[in-house]
Amino acid sequence: MALANRTRSRAAALAREFAVDDSQVYEDYRLLLTRERLDFVDIATAPQIHREQVLAAAEHGVHVLCQKPVATSLDEVREMIQACEAAKVRFVVNENWRWRRWYRELKARLDAGEIGTPRYARFSMHNDGVLPVAGGASPELLTRQAYTAQMPKLIVYEWGIHLVDVMRYLFGDVERVYARMSRISPLVHGEDMALVVLEFRSAVTGVIDISWGSYIPNEKRLVRGNLDPFIVEGDQGTLELDPYQDDSVILTTADHTERWSAHLAQSPAEVYQESYMQTQRHFIQCLRSGEPAENEARDNLQTFAVTLAAYASAEQRRVIAVEELYRDC
């Protein structure tokens, strides 16, 4: 194993944590690709440099697992996909939320017909992640990821894209998008509030209602188990994720209501880590078997296109057909 980070102190700290020999620690990822014999690379950098790093990995014949958002434009994604396919290397996007155990369970229950045919789904989560903090301290998000303050596209690009991908995992492809966005916090450049309506080919209507610029009571400030408030309504029942009632999954039909823990005996930290491990395990299994991954870049292209369609809709104040954006891919 080898690692690269342009900040040597961070690279050294990671090397100690994962027992990587100092000779395999680099400040320049190009040297790593040139000197090391690698099975794959895990690219966990900012979106604006994904293109150059993916193209470099393809040039060296190395398989790629790349963080989301995968790029800054659809043209970049097309170029990366074409380069990886030409080099015969796998290009998979690390969209880990679909591996959170409660979404896997919801998918199984939806496929089993427990609420009939799904018709409506909604994520709704508002918090104060980028609002000024009393006393002048930096808000939580801008402390953890300072670069987000300068991003021209923010909450949908950084967070909403996870929710789009989860909905695609559950309901299939999106045909049309309508969105409204706004900015509340003076500390960020991009939007911190968004309402996105998705029309799925499966006839499900999806709603993503999110904000990092909302004043909220303390008890709603932190979702303890990484469980986002989510509801799916079908013609025979409803499935709901409730982070405010002991991180519960709730199934309601005409006959009964059933409630159980979303993360069972695991702690929130273990649940958080599990989704990354399952994503990476799936990637490695697919490398070994040759089977396509759920999150191949060609599939994730639609998640990314839906996200960009939301921005186009908000700017143009109209419904956007997703096919308009990626029909040539």
- The candidate with the shortest Cα–Cα distance to 47, out of 145, 212, 188, 158, is 158
Distance CA 249, CA 115 (A): 14
Our separate counts of H helices and E strands in the chain read 11, 14
Whether the per-residue pLDDT at 219 is higher than 80: the answer is: no
Residues 112-171 pLDDT 10s: 999 999 999 999 999 999 999 888 888 988 988 888 999 999 999 999 999 999 999 999
Round the average pLDDT of the chain to a whole number and report it. 93
Q: Do the Cβ atoms of 175 and 198 come closer than 8 Å? A: no
Q: Tokens standing for 227? A: 């469980």
- Give the pLDDT confidence score for residue 329 in this predicted structure: 52
Q: Do the Cβ atoms of 293 and 283 come closer than 8 Å? A: yes
Residues 307-321 pLDDT 10s: 999 999 999 999 999
- Give the pLDDT confidence score for residue 223 in this predicted structure: 61
Using DSSP, state whether 94 is helix, strand or coil: strand
Q: Do the Cβ atoms of 174 and 199 come closer than 8 Å? A: yes
- Give the pLDDT confidence score for residue 225 in this predicted structure: 66
3-96+282-292: CATH architecture: 3-Layer(aba) Sandwich (3.40)
Distance CA 2, CA 15 (A): 8
Domain 97-267+301-321 has CATH 3.30.360.10: yes
- As beta bridge partners, residue 237 has 253
Q: Structural domain boundaries of the chain?
A: 3-96+282-292, 97-267+301-321
Whether the per-residue pLDDT at 58 is higher than 90: the answer is: yes
DSSP 296: B
